[in-house]
Amino acid sequence: MSLIVTGSIGIDTVITPTGRADDILGGSCTYFAAAASFFAPVRIVAAVGDDFPDEHMAVFDHFNVDATGLEVRAGSKTFRWTGEYQQDMNDRDTLDVQQGVLAEPLPAVPKAFRATEYVFLANTHPAGQMELRASFPQAKLVVADTMDLWLNTALDELKALLRQIDGLVLNDSEALMLTGERNMVVAAQKIVDMGPKFVVIKKGEHGCMLLHEDGVAALPAFPASKVVDPTGAGDSFAGGMMGYLAEADRTDLATLKRALAYGTIVASYNIESFSLERLKTLCRTEIDQRLAQFADAVRFDA
């Protein structure tokens, strides 16, 4: 089935305890699309400025992403983010942000994309997410991401969005902000009570939790010994998850659990390099091999 992601494309500068990379391709839409491309045809709706380098544009071709919905705006600047990770890689400081096109009107959804069945609304203002959501009247599954900024500044719109989507993906710290609950099981239930059929709480190196109307799932992160740059881990997780759901064309609990595992695996590859370098050389066979290792690591006989 077709899958679409609406979100940001950025030019990032990333500093980690072991290295630094300047002006690399980033953004939620980018990481999501690359991760999802291993499972299903991916369409994007996003915008960049006329400063966006050809070499970055070529990456979407590499992943066979349909970039018909990628607007290159003359006279505008691409979103730029500079961040630095602390020693433990869980904390990062944003050193600089230049909104560029993200401060401008949303990109348009091409007519040919309106029939897309699987929709991921990556993080942007929830009013914008609602507007985008309305562009996909035939969607079988709509999942959204969010961030602390909107919890602080657009909570009412976010709550309205929650009544219009099937699933929400967010970090544990965001789940705490949204519900006031430190216990993630209780927080997840409160979020499901706000509207969506399921919520996925991402816990970074500690894995993820799913609360679905039919049950619960909990997974650790893949026990990875190589972590070069965590940027895009959450987006590639969501991309692997949604990509698998679109491939399977099912949204039941068992399929969602397998989707969480695929998301975990693609994210574990993504963090092995800066930007999309590792994903560029990744193949589905490697994904399935690591998925089998992961299934073995979490399996026990009850």
Chain residues in the site for its own copies (CB under 8 A): 87-89, 182-186, 189, 203, 206-207, 209, 215-225, 227, 254, 257-258, 260-261, 288, 291-292, 294-302
List of residues 6+ apart from 29 with CB closer than 8 A: 5, 6, 7, 8, 9, 44, 45, 46, 122, 235
Nearer to its own copies, 20 or 182 (CB): 182
Going by C-alpha positions, the residue among 37, 61, 64, 32 that lies closest to residue 267 is 32
Sequence-ordered alpha helix ranges (H) in 113-219: 126-133, 148-153, 155-162, 172-179, 184-193
Nearer to its own copies, 5 or 287 (CB): 287
Question: d(Cα 77, Cα 92) in Å, to the nearest integer?
Answer: 24
Question: d(Cα 79, Cα 101) in Å, to the nearest integer?
Answer: 6
Q: Report in angstroms how near the CB of residue 108 gets to its own copies at its nearest.
A: 38
Q: Report in angstroms how near the CB of residue 243 gets to its own copies at its nearest.
A: 16
Q: Report in angstroms how near the CB of residue 90 gets to its own copies at its nearest.
A: 9
Q: Report in angstroms how near the CB of residue 143 gets to its own copies at its nearest.
A: 18
Q: Report in angstroms how near the CB of residue 217 gets to its own copies at its nearest.
A: 5
Nearer to its own copies, 166 or 181 (CB): 181
Sheet holding 42-49, edge to edge: 66-73, 42-49, 3-6, 118-121, 141-145, 167-171, 198-202, 208-212, 215-219
Q: Report in angstroms how near the CB of residue 182 gets to its own copies at its nearest.
A: 5
Q: Report in angstroms how near the CB of residue 210 gets to its own copies at its nearest.
A: 9
Nearer to its own copies, 1 or 216 (CB): 216
Angle between helices 28-36 and 253-270 (to 10 degrees): 110
Nearer to its own copies, 147 or 298 (CB): 298
Q: Report in angstroms how near the CB of residue 13 gets to its own copies at its nearest.
A: 23
Nearer to its own copies, 54 or 296 (CB): 296
* Surface-to-core class of residue 218, CB atoms within 10 Å of its CB (0-12 exposed, 13-18 middle, 19+ buried): middle
User: In degrees, to the nearest 5, what angle opens at C-alpha 65 toward C-alphas 64 and 68?
Assistant: 125
Nearer to its own copies, 54 or 301 (CB): 301
Going by C-alpha positions, the residue among 194, 213, 203, 216 that lies closest to residue 263 is 203
Nearer to its own copies, 124 or 179 (CB): 179
Sequence-ordered alpha helix ranges (H) in 194-276: 233-248, 253-270
DSSP helix/strand/coil, 78: coil
